[in-house]
Each structure stands twice: as C-alpha cells, then as structure tokens.
Structure 1
C-alpha cells in the first residue's frame, strides 16, 4: 500500500482521511513542481534522493465530523498501513544527546559571535521508549483531544516513514483569492492561570503581552522580528497587497510564541510553487542569512532532521490549501520506539542551558501524548 494521511485543522472538529493505495505517490525534487497539483504534501527540511518531497494523490478521501467518528475499521487500516521500522540497536546511549547538543551549540554560537550568522536554529532528536504499545491512530486521536488549537496530522509512506505532528505554525494557507501566512518565533513556557488568555486563530493578533502574560525578552522579540521581516520580503515579491498584524502572544499547548499574521493576494501569474520555494525554510526553522545557515545546518547538525522542520498538509483540496511547518513532531519507529524532534533559534546572546530547556519544553508536546 502506498500511503495515507489523516489530519485535523486547528479549532475544527472534522478530520480528513486520505489514502493512496492503487498507485505510487509523486516524488518531487523542488517546491516549484507543485503548480497544477493537488493532494497531501509531505516535505522534508532538505530534499534528497532518500528524503524527497512526497505528494499523496489519494483515490479515497473521507471527511468525518470528529476524530471520534472515524470508524474502527478505518482506524485499523491506518495502523496496518503505517510504515514502521524494525528497531536496531544503534540508537544513542542515554546522555549522548546532551553532549552532542553542547557540541553543536558551541559550533553555532561561534558563528553568531563572529558575525557570520545573525540567527541560526539548532535542532535535536530524542529517542524515546515506552513500556506499553501505542498504535499510530491512538496517538493521533490523543493529539487531537489534547491540542485543539494545533494542526494535527498523522501520515505514512514508504519513503517518509510514519510521522505524527501537532504544530502551531502556518507556512501557507489559501482559500479562493485570500492567502495567509504567519511569522512565529520566540518561546516561553507558562503554567496555570498564565495561560488563561486566547488569540483567535485567523482573526488577527491582539496585544503583544496580555495582562496575565509575562513580558517578552529582547532576545525573543528580536528573533521574531527577523522571521517577520524575512516573510514580508518574500511575500512582497509576489504581491503588492500585503497586510501585517501583530506581533501578538499566541498559545501552543503550555508554550506561548510571538506571532505576526500576513494576508495578501497573489499577483496574476504567480505560482504557489515559486512562493513556497522562496518561503521554505523560513528563519523560524533555519536562520539568517538563509543559504549560509541552511548549508551549515545540513553539514554540521548532529542528527539529520528528515521530515522534521519541513512542511505538510493539504494542497488545493476542495479549493483550500493548508500547509504547516512540521514542528512538535515525532517519527514513529514502532509501537514502543519513537524519535522526538525540537529546535530553537540561537542569537549572539543565547545561553546554552536555556536553549536546551526550550527544546525539552517543546518535546513535552509529544511526550505528553506518549505518556498519557
């Protein structure tokens, strides 16, 4: 069987299941090849022969009123179609992750201090093992219940393997002639009453710091401004009608981020492929300058990212496009073994222990699902 995707958009109840079983998904070498296509996109951080852009072109698409309405036979089919690895004994020993992160941090920070980079995102992977078996569909259902504000997707193909994501970051949305993207960067972990505020998704931003939200540091504000400036410049090459709102404080689980919203109309003849090629990867997952930091990450980051910090979602399905950056995600190796991914933006004044703790907080999004 070729593959499937099941997903739920933020603040919606309905879930969409797509299956391609009679043919092989398209494998693309560049975002520019998207023009004229539709389906479910699974794009990696860096495209390679073994990690192509995968475009599911389903023969079957079913929409359910909620995750609870997905029939048992469909849930069973999802689990059976999941491409799971035979676990080998080559995973890192406990404690090695921290050592490798420290090495990578120093390597990145040296470039920031020297002025070669203004910002770079450092990512890491954590290998997690649970005591009882977890089915991919059960994890998806749990993610939908725990994270109603996020884009939740479970997808599996022979080339990508099986991934679950619960991400807050829009890469590109479209409905009719209306286009939308966001700049999301900066992170704080909040608890209890500090999370009792709301920023309506899709309705613009409120205040930078709600009354019950701690003030943002200069580092976080600067990091988010880098991302917002880059995204606005990219869009400006394809549109002369761009509106910006924000930044505001936006929730994602027990984390908050700084978010700016951009709405625009594409100029006639401008294709989504070229726009995506320009946007991805944004400084929120890569760095500035883009080419230099991207090349540095690919050459030097300890663990290859695979489909983490790429993007995924429906492309021109029922007249809508909803592509999200693949954050807060995990690679499902088998029913007990999982690879969790997270990263954080480094600036010249970044402190290693604080950045490590930020990645730990981001991994909690998936750990809570595994430990439920």
Structure 2
C-alpha cells in the first residue's frame, strides 16, 4: 500500500507539471479519495449556471462568473476512480484539541480589513442590509519542497468531517480546500442542501452547545433564504436543525434540507437560485452581492464559489469552496471570511478569520 500511495502522490504532482486537468477529492465519511482526469480535449467553459443543466463532470464555479473566471467543467471518461491512499485518522476533533494551544493568531487587524469592516458595518447599521459577508486573502511564500498532493493527503487525514479536494485546470490554476458546507448533493429521489453559519471554536475538541443570539440570527438568515429559494422552484423540503457541526477546529450551526426534484436534469436552475447563499454573500442577495464586489477590495475568484462532482443521472456532491488556497509557482493565497450583522465587532470578526485561516495553515506548517 505504501508503494502504491507514493506512486499515486507522484502521479498527481506529475499531472500538475504536465498541465493536465484533474481533480482528486474525498467525500466526508469516506476513507478513499477519488481521482478523475481529462486526458483528451479541453475542459468546458460555462458562463451561466443554468448551462449546467444536464451536464456531468467536476465543476469549479467562482463567486463571480466573468471572462477571466468562468465556470469550468472537467469531463472525464468516467467518474472518480478510487485512489488508494492511507488517510486513516482518529478524527479532526481530537487533533483540534491537541493543536489549538500551539497556534498563535494576529490579534491586531490590518488597516485594510478595518477599513472594509467599517464600510460594511455602516451599511448594516443603516439597515441597508440584514447581513453581509466580509472576507480577506492572505498571501504567503511557497516553500521550496511544497507538494500539493502531500498537503491533500494531510488534509484527508486531519479533516474527516470535511470535503477535501485538489484540482487543476489551465483556466483556474491549482486549488486545494477543506470545506464543510454542501450546496447540493444527492441522487435519484433524494437531494439535500444545508444552511451553515455562525462560528465557535471547539471546546476541548467537542462541539459547543450554547450559542449566542448573533450566531443564531446569522444562521437563521441563511436557513430562511434557502427555504424561500427552494419554494421559488416549487420544492418543498423537510428540515433538521439547527444543530452544531464540526468544521476543522471550529463549529458551525447547521440545518439540513431534504427534498426531491421533478427533473434531475435541471440542477443548473437550482444552483442558480441557491448560489451565492447568505453564508458567503448577504441579504438582500443581489444588492449584497454587488456591494461586496464594489467594496471588499479584492477578487475572490473561486473562493466562496462551489466545487465538486455533478451527475444528474447518478450521484452529485457539490460543496461551497471555503477554507481553501490558490497554489501558484511562488506563493499560496489563503482565504477566509465571516458573516457580519449590525451587532458585529471588529476584533471578534478579525479573530474569526484568523482561526479559519488556520485550517489551511496547519497543513503547510507555516
């Protein structure tokens, strides 16, 4: 197994060097990652989510679709094949308890973040918006011996409750992430999405049970939005939650929505009304989306978009692209954000992004 695992890791790094489109991913609850490649032809570029209707492949969708940041569809000859790799682990919650005390956070926020925060919070306190999500990027130098495949393996071992992926296309470059948030998953008559919002650290590796009003309100905005969006397409769902759920060394409040679809070929239409959810954008949706584009101060690219396998005739597993990094030749760009309400405080929100950045930082020992 060890020799085969080393061979698989080497193959992934070779795909990157040869600029061959591929994706390797591990679904929560599974021990074996799946690998897919597109050896022939070019990946498909899409500029409207509705055009995903009836499509099959690995989707990489940005926060904002543009000419330079399209939706990319890797279309392999077959769905992801098992990739033997030793990813057995005793669970992320136990490891979180071991490492939390060793981590340090930058307690003083940057001037850029503070300026953006005040712009966002003023709009919230003026009651222009109910919720806004403010994110930021952190650029660090890439170490000489950095191996994307090794980092992917480390993420699989550490974050058993998250969706782990590593992918490359010429249009997107290399992205790697560990995300807890489903945007759409299911098959046949059973489909689901989630409302995931509100953040707390784990308590001695365990889920916190007490949540303050700010976190509960933030999560309720997302749940109400999803409920409305599903009903707009005539979809009636059953709900479970909210309840605390693991996300690395953090916990979020989660509500599950389960439903059936009249036609599984129209998944693009459903994704168009769901994305971006208030968990990564804000409310009212269109106004908040435009406000973020104009005031956040950088391009999120594929961060806070969504990613994963799409198959209307089989199994679909699509996740919001959170806790991720963009890997370039000499640098890594890490991303993190947090939901703001009128009651939000600068230092608290900054610290939340610092803790979320640790999800990727732990993997690269920076």
Give the TM-score normalised by the residue count of structure 1. 0.84
Q: Distance in 2 between matches of 1:128 and 1:35?
A: 38
Are 2:209 and 2:244, in contact at CA under 8 Å, matched by a contact in 1? Answer: no
Matched, 1:345 2:363: no
How big is the shift at 1:162? 0.5
Matched, 1:58 2:76: yes
CA gap of 1:56–1:65, structure 2 versus 1, over 3 A, is: closer
How big is the shift at 1:300? 1.4
Q: SS at the partner of 1:139?
A: helix
How big is the shift at 1:96? 11
Aligned counterpart, 2:45: 27
How big is the shift at 1:286? 0.1
Superposition CA RMSD, Å: 2.1
How big is the shift at 1:20? 1.1
Q: Distance in 1 between matches of 2:244 and 2:23?
A: 31
Q: Distance in 1 between matches of 2:153 and 2:185?
A: 24
Aligned counterpart, 2:64: 46
Are 1:179 and 1:266, in contact at CA under 8 Å, matched by a contact in 2? Answer: yes
Q: Which residue of 274, 286, 295 corresponds with 1:291? A: 286
Aligned counterpart, 1:12: 30
Are 1:242 and 1:263, in contact at CA under 8 Å, matched by a contact in 2? Answer: yes
Aligned counterpart, 1:181: 193
CA gap of 1:225–1:96, structure 2 versus 1, over 3 A, is: closer
Structure 2 gap ranges (5+): 1-18, 88-105
Aligned counterpart, 1:76: none
Q: Distance in 2 between matches of 1:65 and 1:107?
A: 46
How big is the shift at 1:365? 0.4
Are 2:267 and 2:312, in contact at CA under 8 Å, matched by a contact in 1? Answer: no
Matches within 5 A, 1:214-363: 214-268=209-263, 271-316=266-311, 319-334=314-329, 337-363=331-357
Q: Distance in 1 between matches of 2:21 and 2:357?
A: 26
Q: Which residue of 190, 196, 205 corresponds with 2:206? A: 196
CA gap of 1:287–1:326, structure 2 versus 1, over 3 A, is: same
Are 2:53 and 2:265, in contact at CA under 8 Å, matched by a contact in 1? Answer: no
Q: Distance in 2 between matches of 1:66 and 1:12?
A: 12
How big is the shift at 1:270? 7.4
Matched, 1:139 2:151: yes
How big is the shift at 1:170? 0.2
How big is the shift at 1:303? 1.7
Q: Distance in 2 between matches of 1:23 and 1:229?
A: 42
Q: What do residues 271-307 of structure 1 show as CA deviations (whole Å, max 9, x unaligned)?
A: 1111100000000000000011100111111121010
Q: SS at the partner of 2:304?
A: coil
Q: SS at the partner of 2:110?
A: helix
Structure 1 gap ranges (5+): 70-93, 198-212
Q: Distance in 2 between matches of 1:268 and 1:130?
A: 45
Q: What do residues 115-142 of structure 1 show as CA deviations (whole Å, max 9, x unaligned)?
A: 1011000000001225452111111111
Q: Which residue of 111, 123, 126 corresponds with 2:135? A: 123
Q: Distance in 2 between matches of 1:368 and 1:283?
A: 27
Are 2:21 and 2:38, in contact at CA under 8 Å, matched by a contact in 1? Answer: yes
Q: Distance in 2 between matches of 1:353 and 1:318?
A: 47
